Structure 1
Amino acid sequence: MGGLSYPAQKKIVLALFLLVPLTLLGMFTYYPAARLVYLSFTDWDGLGSGMSFLGLDNYREVFTNPDLFGVFLHQIPYAVGGILQNIVAIGFAVILNSTLKGRNAFRVLLFIPYIMNGVAVAFMFQYVFDTTGGSLNALLGAIGLESLQQSWLGNAAIVNWALAGVSVWRYLGYTMIIYLGALQSLPSDMYEAARIDGANRFQSLWHLTLPSLSRIIQLNMFLTLSGALAVFDLPFVLTKGGPAGASETFLLKTTETAFQFNNYGLASAMSVVLLLLTVLILLGQNAALGRKGRD
């Protein structure tokens, strides 16, 4: 590069440094994504090279077959639980951001469920929800609420709410830590000015804290709702989608379509639909919160 000017040499060096990461990104991210989209228009069975082009038939099957798209109804409890999880997490973050004695211990206790292995959490709650010897039914019996004892994972009406409760318990600490970090970055001057102006704690929370956390709330709500769309481990380990498919989720159905029925074309279309729904949630959330901010 002796005959090249310094700006040209600089561009070549930068291009060489970027070559490896861009190659890896294209090889392991963009190519698989493009391949997934391509397969979603075929009937590939995953076993051989033979496949035929189906056009939009797979997508038509996803949206018209209630056994496929209809399982999103099973994930409503996860979304509702996620919203409650964010509300409770903000409350805990505000409390633990104060001078509460032993606050560090409470932070650790709330965060521990998140760092536990997901399969281990599922097996632990398998004993909690057990019909005969489970701790939840034992607790209800001990406090005189025998009428509420039941098969928590065998009742189609409540199984998804039970699983959503486990998800809330596991991710509450993680959400709280994010809010806590955001709270600790807020300047204390504005709270002192609010106190001088006569604002009480609730007014400071409503008019100062929550508006200041709007971006973090937006991030956590996106993570919560996208996570509710992609629930897999809890129903897979605890119920296998039962009873009678009542706890099947869209991702569980996608995996079943691919690996049990060898319909990789339809499974690819389901994966693309899940991705598009996640993008729509992000765009809708940004539009709603952006309009609220302008108002």
Structure 2
Amino acid sequence: MTAYTDHKKKKSLLQWARSRKGQQIIIIVTFMFIPLLLLLTFTYIPFGEMAKFSLYKMSYTSTPEYLGLDNYKEVFKNKEIFSSLKLSLYYMAGSIIQLVLALYLATILSFKTKGGNIFKGFMFFPYLISGIAIGFIFRFFFTRGFVFDTVLQWCGFDLENLPYWLRTQGLNNVSLVATSIWRYFGQNMVLFIGAIMSVDSELYEAAELDGANKFKQFIHIILPSIKTIFTLNVIMSITGSLSAFEPPYVIANNGANGTATYFIKMNNIAFTNKKIGLASAMAIVLFLIIFAVTILQKLFFKYAFRNANAEDQIVSKKKKRLAMSKKKEAV
């Protein structure tokens, strides 16, 4: 009797696995298991190991020595490490300029513009170039007497009166931020264009019936409609500015002349000074800062776009009115 029952269960299980529903569940579980396994293996386990390293004084060859939270205290006590975070303000300011420029051009290019497709291609092309290649390009671009200085001399400037773009304190960080803006604003522009082009054209017609000009259409139609992409771009730009690495590393020769960002300092401490524990603590601190900034940005935009749903309802009513007026004209 027991053998018969076990055979029946096995048969029913096999039948379930061969059924449509069973195969769907097996495929879903399989496709979930593999990405989760990769994520666990290459992200969460290494992150846990790094968090453990941050509690020790260790290098690549020496025996680890437990320090507790001393490495975290060192991150905030060390003036060079903590001051490197201030350089992120340059990149944050640059990200704001980048987003404003991208949104402005995206709004123009979303409508019929002569040569718009060619212009989009030119603006997006820098994002496709390797960051290291861009670094070498702008390293020669800003070098004394080279491309940028030559162009300024054509405009009437004297070479002796021009500053050293990569040596002058403060100005060198502005030069590096300009390269980041040039590289990334095309990506943001394309994302904005895709979002703006998905807005129903009848909404603009409804707004024009009420006498709304282009600026009011932008504020009350375009911005609320692209709020998801806008929020995503802002979060990516601001958090990316906290982890700037390629421009100061390649262009400014590993963060020379006061251009070393937090990421550069962390890289030097880990691989030059071989203080793995301290570098791991810096990485954890940076993760917490980025996490906090992301949460604050989400809360801010949730508050900023609190009236977006109400505006969507108003616009839908205007759309209905437009449809009614078209029906009357047809009659």
What range describes the TM-score normalised by the shorter chain of this pair? over 0.9
Give the match for residue 37 of structure 1. 51
**Letter matched to residue 269 of structure 1:** A
Is structure 2 residue 164 aligned with structure 1 residue 141? no
TM-score using structure 2 length:
0.83
Deviation of 1:17 after TM superposition, in Å, equals 5.2
TM-score using structure 1 length:
0.93
Is structure 2 residue 261 aligned with structure 1 residue 252? no
Deviation of 1:204 after TM superposition, in Å, equals 0.8
Distance 2:31 2:213 in 1: 55
Give the percent of matched residue pairs that are identical in Structure 1 and Structure 2. 33
Q: Considering only aligned residues, what root-mean-square deviation do their CA atoms show, in Å?
A: 2.0
2:253 to 217, 240, 245: 240
Secondary structure in 1 aligned to 2:239? Answer: helix
Contact 2:85/2:261 (<8 A) preserved: yes
Question: Is there any run of 5+ residues in structure 1 with no aligned partner, and where?
Answer: none
Contact 2:54/2:279 (<8 A) preserved: yes
Residues 202-224 of structure 1: CA distance to partner in whole angstroms, max 9, x if unpaired?
11112221222222111111111
Question: Is there any run of 5+ residues in structure 2 with no aligned partner, and where?
Answer: 1-9, 308-331
Give the match for residue 279 of structure 2. 267
Deviation of 1:155 after TM superposition, in Å, equals 0.7
**Letter matched to residue 229 of structure 1:** L
Secondary structure in 2 aligned to 1:2? Answer: helix
Give the match for residue 99 of structure 2. 86
Secondary structure in 2 aligned to 1:67? Answer: helix
| Count of residue pairs brought into register by the alignment | 292
Contact 2:192/2:229 (<8 A) preserved: yes
Is structure 2 residue 121 aligned with structure 1 residue 108? yes
Is structure 2 residue 15 aligned with structure 1 residue 2? no
Is structure 2 residue 35 aligned with structure 1 residue 21? yes
Contact 1:257/1:266 (<8 A) preserved: yes
Deviation of 1:122 after TM superposition, in Å, equals 1.1
Residues 80-135 of structure 1: CA distance to partner in whole angstroms, max 9, x if unpaired?
01101000101110111111111110000000111011111111112211112x22
Contact 1:71/1:248 (<8 A) preserved: yes
Give the match for residue 311 of structure 2. none
By percentage of residues, which structure has more helix?
2
1:51-200 matched pairs, under 5 angstroms: 51-132=64-145, 134-146=146-158, 149-200=162-213
**Letter matched to residue 2 of structure 1:** K
Deviation of 1:242 after TM superposition, in Å, equals 4.4
Contact 1:226/1:278 (<8 A) preserved: yes
Decide whether aligned partners of structure 1 residues 254 and 143 sit closer, same or farther in structure 2, where only a CA change above 3 A counts.
same
Secondary structure in 1 aligned to 2:207? Answer: helix
Contact 2:249/2:255 (<8 A) preserved: no
Give the match for residue 212 of structure 1. 225
Secondary structure in 2 aligned to 1:274? Answer: helix
